[in-house]
Structure 1
């Protein structure tokens, strides 16, 4: 991700006439080595620890009245994008189990992703095909260049405006969780960016 950003920046500088072709002769080395993706079994074990905490919390929080919701990110939070990207991309088993349990206890299940709006229909289809209950899907709006944190926070605010209390927000990156508008956050492992 960092290398791609550096290359895009270098190409943009050259396209604006602010750099020379010599500046593009050798790609810039990343500032730090990318973190390695752990074996699938390790990842699932680590995810299961967090989903166990999530389920315990929801079992105590969901009973009772009111419109309650749980918000999930998609890539490497609900779908195995980094390990099994395909059509459809498989669900992450312990996350799917937690989402279904929350739905059975009356919570609405919303998905908030940085995927572009144009991917809405295939994304929703994928989620449903692998078993997720989907009460709403929020994607990056057309021509929106705001930081991911802002886009996701605004989506949660929109869910609250529908009358829901977001009791849990689940993601594998900090930008999935910052910005408030959730009673609790649960961070799945990203291994220092290896599962961006």
Structure 2
């Protein structure tokens, strides 16, 4: 078989895997919709969630406004994706809307010269749709770290490695924002800001 044919087969295989993953996500959404009312009731109303997010991003913005005015070095912020940067739990569809208070935080950081990196436990197979979604809703994307293929390490270990890699590239991570302790624990950030996850309901 020619190298061109092999390449085409490899691309087709990856595309099929992505479609299967997206299909599985749709099935999971359907299962969630059919879940008992008691489970769904654990998450607050959308307006309450946004208010709770804003209660965290407001002091985060105040901190960034001051911290990024200090000259010197390459600075960056790190954002989780699901239920941090994108409204994964509350909104469906091909393009998931941005969490507006977090988008404003990213825009503030970028306007002051900081790079904006995303670190997620999504599989590497979803790089293209994930990056496309982030950019489509207005996020500046200077880097996207996803779970490598055939990697079975704990979530926190992978996210810590990603932040370490960002530092090794010459950046100082001035803020790390996520809605789960696995997004934040492990160091490699000057400050962490935890958004609500309501005891794991918004994973």
Using the size of structure 2 for normalisation, the TM-score is 0.79
Cross-structure match for 2:114: 107
Count of residues in correspondence between the two structures: 164
Q: Distance in 2 between matches of 1:115 and 1:96?
A: 19
Secondary structure of the structure 1 residue equivalent to 2:43: coil
Cross-structure match for 1:116: 123
Q: Give ranges in structure 1 of 5+ residues lacking alignment.
A: 1-32
Query: Residues 161-183 of structure 1: CA distance to partner in whole angstroms, max 9, x if unpaired?
Result: 11000000000000000000000
Post-superposition offset of 1:87: 1.5
Post-superposition offset of 1:135: 0.2
Post-superposition offset of 1:65: 2.0
Query: Residues 80-104 of structure 1: CA distance to partner in whole angstroms, max 9, x if unpaired?
Result: 0000022100000111011101100
Tell me which of 132, 136, 154 is aligned to 2:161.
Answer: 154
Query: Residues 4-39 of structure 1: CA distance to partner in whole angstroms, max 9, x if unpaired?
Result: xxxxxxxxxxxxxxxxxxxxxxxxxxxxx8570100
Secondary structure of the structure 2 residue equivalent to 1:88: coil
- Report the aligned-residue RMSD: 1.0
Tell me which of 62, 68, 72 is aligned to 1:62.
Answer: 68
1:87 aligns with 2:94: yes
Using the size of structure 1 for normalisation, the TM-score is 0.82
Cross-structure match for 1:170: 177
Q: Distance in 1 between matches of 2:166 and 2:198?
A: 29
| Structure with the largest fraction of helix | 2
Secondary structure of the structure 2 residue equivalent to 1:82: coil
Q: Distance in 1 between matches of 2:141 and 2:190?
A: 20
Cross-structure match for 1:45: 51
Tell me which of 151, 167, 187 is aligned to 1:180.
Answer: 187
Secondary structure of the structure 1 residue equivalent to 2:102: helix
Q: Give ranges in structure 2 of 5+ residues lacking alignment.
A: 1-37
Q: Distance in 2 between matches of 1:163 and 1:69?
A: 10
